[in-house]
Amino acid sequence: MEFTVERTLRRRGMRWTSWGLVVLAGSLVWLISSVGNAVPGAAFVGVFSALAVWHGWNELRKARRPFRLQIDGRGITLHDAALSWEEIDAVALWHDRAADSDTTPPDPRLMLWTAPGVTLPRKQDRTWDGRNRYTLVSCSDLDQSVSQLTTALARHGGAHFETAPRAVRPPIPVTVAGPELSVPGGERTFTADQGAGRKAVVWTILALLCSTVFVLLNLYLIRHPEKADYDSGAGIPLTVLALAALVFWIQVRSSYVRWRKPLRLRIGGAGIGMREVAGEERYFRWAQIATVSVGPQQYSSDSRPCLTVWPLPGTHAHDHPSHLSDGHRAYVLPGLDRLPGGLAAVVPVLRAYAGERYAETA
């Protein structure tokens, strides 16, 4: 399959250039109509519109440059080089983190690692592991979608298509075995804090009791002002009751949240559903999963075991990952030791359903 960037860059360049010219014309009219008066705002707008025109012109120039990316059974062909799969160590989609939680994560970049001794006629990326890495194209520039690129890489790249960090598992073909639909018992659900409902009731009773005593004591002091001698310590029990009621109501809210939306893990023939406390469930179908692993969370001092799902590139594109590792997105469910049975109960079920997608515990 062949991938190009001409239409996308041309459309983007025309958009930037058109808007820039319109705003530039407006700023010039503004300046001309204000002759003799200092109008710094018009000059400021004019400078930025000129920058927009310049950016659009650069996009149009890039669209005219030759670019070709063809992926087939023989290898990867570029406009300036051709590599067979034997000359390619790995190829992967490299994701970057979004600017903040309210913005959509940017499209990934297509990265290629050549085999030892093989180079491309372009500048190499700076790396720390000594491997020859090249950035071929940003997926946001492609005329085709990321899913089409992922499909071509999975179909022709085989084990050269790196879908998870090598520290988690070596590259394997995307068409791995699993899940095993014959696993007895059907879907398994593990839910933590099963006693949260009972705790919520207990904390509610204590909170109501403290609040009632606090209100009654206030009413008594209002009706008997001669007893309200705060210099003798009459305000101490009121303060203690108010603080106790506040703490108990906070515990009520916490227990209620853990009761209504507890830590939960679902594993079945369709996929994996993960939900943290008070969060929304993230569900991954097996066809969207590259690897699942169990072990301590990366880049964290917490050594408790976590379940990490590494989705295939191109899936869950608009969802913010828990963290990124070597450009690969990871979604983490912490606190597996809090689930009923802990690791001893979760890992056998996960291994049975995940098949070759399961990476041994780190």
Q: What is the pLDDT of residue 102?
A: 66
Phi, psi of 273 (to 5 degrees): -115, 125
- Tokens at residue 150, please? 């992922």
For residue 293, which of 335, 349, 344, 347 has the smallest C-alpha distance? 347
Written as tens digits, the pLDDT of the chain (362 aa) is 777 655 555 565 566 566 555 555 666 555 556 555 555 655 555 566 666 555 555 655 655 566 678 898 899 888 778 899 999 999 999 998 877 766 778 889 999 999 998 988 888 888 877 788 999 888 888 878 888 898 889 888 988 999 998 888 888 888 765 565 556 667 889 998 777 788 888 989 999 999 998 888 888 777 777 666 656 566 677 788 889 889 999 989 888 887 888 899 999 888 899 999 888 899 999 888 999 999 887 767 778 889 999 998 888 877 888 888 888 999 999 888 889 888 899 999 998 888 888 887 65
State the Rg of the chain over Cα. 30
Res 24: pLDDT: 55
pLDDT for res 273: 94
| pLDDT reported for residue 240 | 84
> Is the peptide bond prior to 106 cis by the omega test (within 30 degrees of 0)?
no
Q: Are 330 and 309 in contact (CB under 8 A)?
A: yes
pTM of the model: 0.72
161: DSSP letter? B
List C-alpha distances in Å: 324 to 98, 113, 166, 266, 332: 11, 19, 13, 23, 11
Beta-carbon contacts of residue 233 (< 8 Å; ≥ 6 apart): none
- pLDDT given for residue 283 in this prediction: 94
Question: Rounded CA gap, 258 and 200, in Å?
Answer: 9
Segment (H or E) for 310? strand 305-311
